[in-house]
Amino acid sequence: MTILRTLVLFVMVTALVACSTGEKETTAAVAKTQGAEITLTDVTSIDEMMTNADDYLGKTVLVSGKVIGRCGGSSCWIALDRGPDKEGLIVQTADKSFVFSEDCDNATVTIQGMLMLKGPEGEEAHAEEEGEEPHVCPNPEYYFSPVGLRIEA
């Protein structure tokens, strides 16, 4: 029995030594994702898209920007920075199905989606149905409807 224990111990130690390469393990920052996989690679400037909004309506594009605001009620929208003296780009879905986590706050995000005309309405009723405090969400002329989001690490 002692020989068997010694043999098992020897095999375990040998396996551990063999698995050790002597290199330190590094952990790369991993981006968090939400929704569908992002398939586009070319980023469209938010300013370019908004300056030529009619050309981008209903087209799937990839945008990137810093989050400067998030819905405090149901987390149904975020606003992306467009620069000084410009309103942020509102990112939300018409049916409020995309919920933006606190991880988005002040983060840089890359989002694949479509520019849409006229924002969704009826948020106050939605908030009351969900048992939340009534609140007002923006209803911009244009909004960006996401299908996939990546929070950059």
Q: Is 90 exceeded by the pLDDT of residue 28?
A: no
Tokens 């810093």 belong to 66
CATH superfamily, domain 34-151, is Bacterial OB-fold (2.40.50.200)
- Three-state DSSP class for 6? helix
CA dist., res. 149 & res. 101, Å (int) = 11
Q: What is the pLDDT of residues 46-81, one digit of tens each?
A: 999 999 999 999 999 999 999 999 988 888 899 999
Does the model's pTM come out above 0.75? Answer: no
Phi, psi of 110 (to 5 degrees): -120, 130
pLDDT at 74: 83
- In the structure, what pLDDT confidence band is assigned to residue 5 with cuts at 50, 70 and 90? low
Least confident of 22-31, 37-46, 77-86, 106-115: 22-31
Token pair, residue 120, equals 């969704």
